[in-house]
Structure 1
């Protein structure tokens, strides 16, 4: 979870109007190649405006409240000076000082890369940052400024711009056409060494990973410990929450049901599950089975409701209650918008079709066990928290406010149990030895280890067909990403719950797949480099992954140190004294405020709680900020509503007001 930002009026139109010229005629309904005035190349997303000035190219989101400017600065003494020069050229009224400047490793022809973050108060609802890139002695700067709601909605397009920005004449690395090496013991040792080193640098206590070819698991191992301060080691049979890696297996259930003739990918959901409703009859009737898992329907994330109110006693059917009150914020197929409730509905519809007349949660569990887990030999994979946590399981960890890794078991697991009523989206537990069997099944395009075709190849591969782009050469299918950025397709998906970060991946051209599971929020910074390192080893790629880890480790320390300075801990006594005993919101439930014997406040939600610090925002408002490591930094802005005390909570596209309880 993270603080949401807000939009101020954009500081645009400050360059002389006479100097601005329209972009060359192009089909704005398709992505198109473009250049900055200085010759750096990038891709302009479809439906975005593009205009040119002597020193910059400006891209505008269709909503009109988000701009990306690519500014040719030329020589500058350093990144901070380059960004200041870019703002002067593009929007001179922007004088807000940088909050933090952090380095990224050289990539894609850039000899230096730096990200400049700015202090943004929650009520601004603004996304604001800059990226400074140097090739030889010349700097190019990307300026990003606009409404955070639009920034989230258009994140895939923004990724496309940033990922495609390269110096003139640079040709990126590609593994296309190369013969992959076999994963020999020596190459496996290289991957293991990378994981061990990365864990130390990032402060990840434990990890487990496995590698497979099309015939067998060729390696699996655990590294580190299950819990800091205790000796029990992680091994390849240690249980981890795999979170959204559940989605690919849930869509595998749907593929099996399509094979059985119990549904069609292009069938309206309401035909197979009449209780399915979205915000309007028109939207409901337009939603086909494949739309439930394509992240292409235009429904935004709406996670706070289940995170704040979900408990193990919440009925599975609550998914459909929440969806009935949800409307898309973009058109079908227009943008990538990840929605966990839709993926949950997909699994429960599958369970209903497999075992009608049974509670959808129970039906889903049974269907997954009988049609996915057992046939694939995944005897350790489960949705049962108590079973998973009964023996060899990895405890969740995260950094505390001082940037030190700590175990966060009680509150983190209470928080994580909120996913159980919505488990098709991310509630499974598994092990490296078990999850690699699923990856091998994907690699073999629906065949079991004994050679039987359990899911037909067409329906298995239908889940990988691109629905919406997520960035440059990256698309989302049905519960699976396909990334062709390095010239060979990598099918993958990540998972994230409190204190657990994981990834699955398969490289069909190489006939190799892998999984990695970690017991730390900082494990998130290991996932993409692990993928990159695997490809480096397979294809003799440039050694970039280690640099990514080193840069991430330095960045995260700088970010925590900077944010720690902004917090008042213990919380400001006057702000604490002004809190109401309890607050309520019709969607997110109740917050109970407790004060310890030392006066320090904590907030209690339906299933978890957190001690709180205070933060004085630059706009004069005060936020109470969570200190529980796995939900660290989430702000509750102090406000009033109808003369009553209130707290405002936001995600990028929704705002919730908690008003003091009567």
Structure 2
């Protein structure tokens, strides 16, 4: 989902102590732990009530939460039900699809597969993957792709996945995407990260699922964690994804198979398993006294690699992205690692770590993003820091998700044609087959009940077309990246442009 962004990512503000005019600046004092046992207990005591109140406010059917501190699980609990309308309860071993929490899991796996931190900076060829600029293709590294600094556009390839194309097709078509400056621009790309992870697995002579099991899930005792959709669906104790119905209630969604982007969004897990992973992260690769991941390659994932949120004002914080993590620093200079995950088809998750405090929280929910997962984490840390929350985090998170969702919709209200709309031409002016090097074949045909239909994808998805004005029609989009109604504009030159496919200039099809 395009709105699956980290909310409230913070940056580093460094204040140098001013010495005498003839003296060199003094370094800032090293950050120190600030969350005592009393503050932590206050945050833990508030947590369950906040979760239940948030579920009441949003209607989200199920939530699971785990908190770790000083290498111990200090709180773990399930709330609500796995599926709306059914009695089965969420528990700490309920398996959730974690969406983009897959990214920091993936960077942990890759860290385990590398011998040295410098190996993140190696270029690895992956058959079927290239970028538009040959020089960039031959120089892009694992780190570049995990940090979203390759130059690929935001969410490149995601719409191909929505249309039903497989991983091989999508990675091949990324060579057609326009590029922004290499290593000097940030754009969140699921399939760029996927290409890097798959190249590491390929170099090891194995699959991504097998590499993940060998390097992380097995050694860390994460027995209910996997990277494939089958891993999720075969679990009897699993949380069903939910979307909002027209009446505002939550209903089970058709489901979300993210296998094409498994390293970036395909993982499923439980809060019990993810608590073990948080302990490993906070323990610098050590879990239960055993070294699971080498410290230096893992530490590399926690270092800023690119500016993800430039400061909007002179006093605003800068947001960074590391390797699979949002990386920020608070006013006390403490490192904060976080990541949110979201499926518009029914999941929202958050993990946040404060390594200096040896403190972390993970929140999993089984509903499309309304801000609850992020708000629970934000409220917990805010209370631990200040003894009480300083904001209504659920209201803030919900409004940001809503704003981002609205921003992705077309500025044209296709449901209401303009007064005096021009008539369409005869159907045969539009029917036929059109091709596009990126999106493949598009077919316009007469529907069985009259009117026109548009078909896209390898196993064609068919959409009824509604006339809007002249040679412009519209249809209701579907899938993870649906944006409501989108425009379809037929040209007199034998072309057709599909509005929501044209964000990067690749959405024009030519008639055969």
TM-score range with shorter-chain normalisation?
Answer: 0.7 to 0.9
User: Structure 2 vs 1, CA of residues 563 and 283 (structure 1 numbering), >3 Å: closer, same or farther?
Assistant: closer
**CA distance in 2: counterparts of 1:607 and 1:214, whole angstroms:** 51
Residues 275, 354 of structure 1: alpha-carbon distance in 2 compared, 3 angstrom cutoff:
same
Query: 2 CA distance for matches of 1:607 and 1:442?
Result: 42
Instruction: Kindly state the Cα deviation for residue 299 of structure 1 after the two structures are TM-superposed.
Output: 1.9
Query: How does 1:351-370 map onto structure 2 within 5 Å?
Result: 351-355=201-205, 363-370=207-214
| Residues 641 and 659 in structure 1, CA contact (< 8 A), matched pair in contact too | no
* Match for residue 520 of structure 1 among 345, 367, 370: 367
* Alpha-carbon spacing, 1:213–1:227, altered in 2? closer, same or farther (3 Å): same
Contact 2:227–2:263 (CA under 8 A) maintained in structure 1: no
Q: Of the candidates 330, 338, 344, which is equivalent to residue 492 of structure 1?
A: 338
TM-score computed with the length of structure 2 as normaliser: 0.78
What is the deviation of 1:551?
A: 7.8
CA deviation map 1:287-308 (0-9, x unaligned): 2332221212222231345323
Task: Give the match for residue 251 of structure 2.
Answer: 407
Which stretch shifts more, 489-498 or 369-378? 489-498
Partners of 1:556 and 1:305 in 2: how far apart?
A: 21
Once residues 576 and 404 of structure 1 are traced to their aligned partners in structure 2, the CA distance between those partners, rounded to angstroms, is 39
Return the alpha-carbon distance in structure 2 between the equivalents of residues 381 and 458 of structure 1: 24
SS at match of 2:230: helix
Larger relative contact order (CA 8 Å, sep ≥ 6): 2
1:342 aligned to 2:192?
A: yes
SS at match of 1:475: strand
Residues 1:187 and 1:229: Cα distance change in structure 2 (over 3 Å): same
Show the 5 A alignment for 1:80-229: 179-182=34-37, 187-229=43-85
Q: 2 CA distance for matches of 1:186 and 1:576?
A: 68
Equivalent position of 2:395 in the other structure: 549
CA 1:547 to 1:275, structure 2 compared with 1: closer, same or farther past 3 Å? closer
Distance in 1, matches of 2:85 and 2:450, equals 28
Which of 290, 303, 310 is the equivalent residue of 2:157? 303
What SS does the aligned partner of 2:341 have?
Answer: strand
Say which SS state the counterpart of residue 369 (structure 2) adopts: helix
**1:423 maps to what in 2?**
262
How do residues 286-297 of structure 1 correspond to structure 2 at under 5 angstroms?
A: 286-297=139-150
The residue that corresponds to 2:216 in the other structure is 372
Residue from 469, 472, 477 that aligns with 2:307: 469
2:433 & 2:250 partners in 1: Cα distance?
29
For residues 338-396 of structure 1, give each alpha carbon's deviation from its aligned partner in whole angstroms, at most 9, with x where no partner exists: 222221122112111222xx5xxxx2211111111111111111123234123222222
Tell me how many residue pairs correspond in the alignment. Answer: 472
- Distance (whole Å) between structure 2 residues aligned to residue 289 and residue 374 of structure 1: 23
- Report the secondary structure of 2:491's partner residue: strand
2:243 to 390, 398, 410: 398
Kept after mapping to 1: 8 A contact 2:95/2:268: yes
* Structure 2 alignment gaps of length 5 or more: 14-30, 310-316
- Quote how far apart the aligned CAs of 1:267 are: 2.3
Matches of 2:69 and 2:130 in 1, distance apart?
42
Give the SS at the match of 1:521: coil
Aligned Cα RMSD in Å? Answer: 4.2
1:247 counterpart = 2:73:
no
Cα separation, partners in 2 of 1:647 and 1:659, compared to 1, 3 Å: farther
Partner Cα separation in structure 1 for residue 321 and residue 226 of structure 2: 26
Name the counterpart of 1:633: 484
User: Which 5+ residue runs of structure 1 have no aligned equivalent?
Assistant: 4-154, 165-175
Once the two structures are TM-superposed, the CA of residue 480 in structure 1 deviates from its matched residue by 0.9
Flag the 1:637–1:258 CA change in 2: closer, same or farther, 3 A. same
In the TM superposition, residue 195 of structure 1 has moved relative to its aligned partner by 2.0
Q: Which protein is richer in strand relative to its size? A: 1
